[in-house]
Amino acid sequence: MACPQRKLLKNAVFRILIFTLIKCCKGQAFSQSKKRKKVIVEIENIRNIAIIAHVDHGKTTLVDQMLKQTGVFRSNQQVVERVMDSQDQERERGITIVAKNFSIQYKGIKLNIIDTPGHTDFGGEVERTLKMAEGVLLLVDAYEGPMPQTRYVLQKALGYHLKPIVVINKIDRPDGRPKDVLDEIFDLFVDLNADDKQLDFTVVYASARDGYAKLEVEQKSNDLAPLLDAIIKHIPPPTANPDEPFQMLVQALDYNDYVGRIGIGKIANGSINSGSNVAWLKMDGEKRNERIGKIYSFSGLERESVQEATAGDIVAVTGIENVEIGDTLADANNPKPLPIISIDEPTLSMLFSVNNSPFAGKDGKYVTSRNLRERLYRELRSNVSLKVHDTNSSESFHVAGRGLLHLSVLIENMRREGYELQVSKPKVIYKEINGKKAEPVEFLVIDVPKEFDGQVISLLGLRKGEMLNMRESNGRINFEFKLPSRGLVGLRLRLLSSTQGTAIMYHNFYEYEYFKGDIPHRSQGVIVSMSNGDVMAYALDGLRDRGVMFAKPGDKVYEGMIVGEHCEQNDIAVNVCRAKKATNMRSATADKGIKLSPPRDLTLEMALEYIEDDELIEITPKTFRLRKKLLREHDRKRQRTTPQVLK
């Protein structure tokens, strides 16, 4: 009996040893595979970088020179200035509104570059595209130094822990002060709590207009090679794990009539082939399986179709018709969502309504509430900073944005597309902090000649402005204020008027602070038409002492339309369609010609700042008009007297 028992014991021990050995081998293989999954590699042949700056500090001009000097354009090719500003409004206003991607090849390395807007109203474009980059080029004017938008875009870049390269541009300016500007930039970095690595930034001095860059002011240079070398040397390459399942966050959208909607973003992990099945993970948690159509890689200003794209590269994909910004495209067998893009909340809201004036439907192609609602919600697909909400009325919609320029660009785009609508006065969006009412506060910079400093201080004081700094240079004063966003509405018009058009003003969102009290409204009333018809020169001649006119002879007006600014605080209703009566009586002044002052020409932004709570702006494809909410003078009088009766 002992022998069989000993034999069974040996077999049991043998089995235990074999089981332990297999378990150890499996554990070792698992740990090795786990280690392999955690391997992070650097894609050395790619650099992803965003260009950030204040308005008019030379971003797009620098992009033009990069494209020219890296051989994207032929030597004999005719190229327009600011080639990246492709939209009509971008060319007309001279600003970048939408962030755009392009790439250049330099010393065998692909540089994916993102041209971002410089105005804080389009900060959503900056926020959604910075996640595609590992570093930034911070452009600063050699004379103006850091401005409000410089602070804003740099704060966002530092928050994403991007590696900065400071480019002090326009060093060819006679009044340039690059050394002082460098000190101001360093102080700005410190003020924004940059870490030690970010404070150790590389500095490049450049003239984007003349197409050269150098590492020292005294050096000689003929091209942008020092800047491009600095990008390769100091901007880290993208890091990713090619063995991880595919992941890509959609951060921009485009549209093509042949392939439909195009999603643009950086591949975070893995790789993707044309025609592959992917999981489409929406921001609301919904998951759908889709098939990738084509994959496009950026090459210069064009996109070229590729069969495969790997981690670290910025690509465009087709095949997913309703993809939105913030959605994740992931591996179909192992779908993992990426963090959603964080966008700052809007600070200004307006009411968009169907046009109900007597001239409604005469100019526009899209005039119904259905057309208006469809267009506004379609804008949300690409305009990540915009918020749209329905109201109790089917004909009105609350639209919130990052600022007056942000909303006016949307209105102008809709007007050019054939929409008719009417909009109300912009209002700030309040919050509640610790049980108290709080409002958005702006950081404001004003640059004026020295002789107008008193007018600026007085004007800002009435609007609850708090002076933070004042600096004099070359006969001009540079003011820094902290001001409630409410105080900005109508400020530009009055500032230009009080400084004879010499003031320069920039601002960006600072923070929310407790409500600072009432701010004075427009000091003058308006001149309102009390009849329908054509404006007559004879009638305007009799009203020249009443104020400044917005209308000119021959303009068509209706009852309730605002035709001028009254010289006193109250509104007045006048007949601007009154013609001179024909008579057979001779007059000594019968042949006297009528000489009228030119009318005040308002832009859309000026009109939005001008109107009050009881007024609207009528927007049509051909023009825009200021009007009262209540068109009849009798109704307006009854509204003014009703509260007194109730008392």
Q: How many CB atoms lie within 10 A of CB 322?
A: 12
148-159 and 178-191 helices, crossing angle to 10°: 50
Q: What is the pLDDT of residue 123?
A: 76
Please give the backbone phi and psi of residue 210, each rounded to the nearest 5 degrees, phi first: -90, -10
Q: Please state the φ and ψ torsions of residue 65, each to the nearest 5 degrees.
A: -70, -35
In the predicted model, residues of the chain with pLDDT beneath 70 are 1-39, 74-86, 242, 584-592, 643-647
pLDDT at 84: 62
Domain with CATH 2.40.30.10 in the chain: 241-331
**Spatial separation of the C-alpha atoms in residues 495 and 492, rounded to whole Å:** 5
pLDDT computed for residue 478 by the predictor? 87
pLDDT tens string 203-237: 999 998 899 999 998 888 899 999 999 999 999 99
Looking at this protein, which amino acid is placed at residue 96? T
Q: Which residue spans within 9-92 are E strands per DSSP? A: 41-42, 46-53
Query: Which CATH number applies to 42-239?
Result: 3.40.50.300
Residues forming a β-bridge with 46: 110
**pLDDT value for 153:** 85
Per-residue model confidence as pLDDT tens digits over 593-634:
778 888 988 889 889 989 999 999 999 999 999 999 999 988
In single-letter form, the type of residue at position 250 comes to V
Q: Determine the Cα–Cα distance for residues 154 and 307; give it in Å rounded to an integer.
A: 36
Point out which residues pair with 165 in neighbouring strands.
137, 202
Q: Where in the chain is the domain with CATH 3.40.50.300?
A: 42-239
Query: What does the pLDDT read at residue 93?
Result: 76
Q: Where in the chain is the domain with CATH 3.30.70.240?
A: 431-514
CATH topology classification for 431-514: Alpha-Beta Plaits (3.30.70)
Query: pTM of the predicted model, to two decimals?
Result: 0.80
Which pLDDT score, from 0 to 100, does residue 591 have?
47
Whole-number Å distance between alpha carbons of 602 and 624: 10
569, two tokens: 């605080």
Q: 241-331 has which fold?
A: Elongation Factor Tu (Ef-tu); domain 3 (2.40.30)
b/e per residue, 457-474, with b = 16+ CB within 10 A? bebbeebbbeeeeeeeee
Phi then psi for residue 643, to 5 deg, are: -60, -35
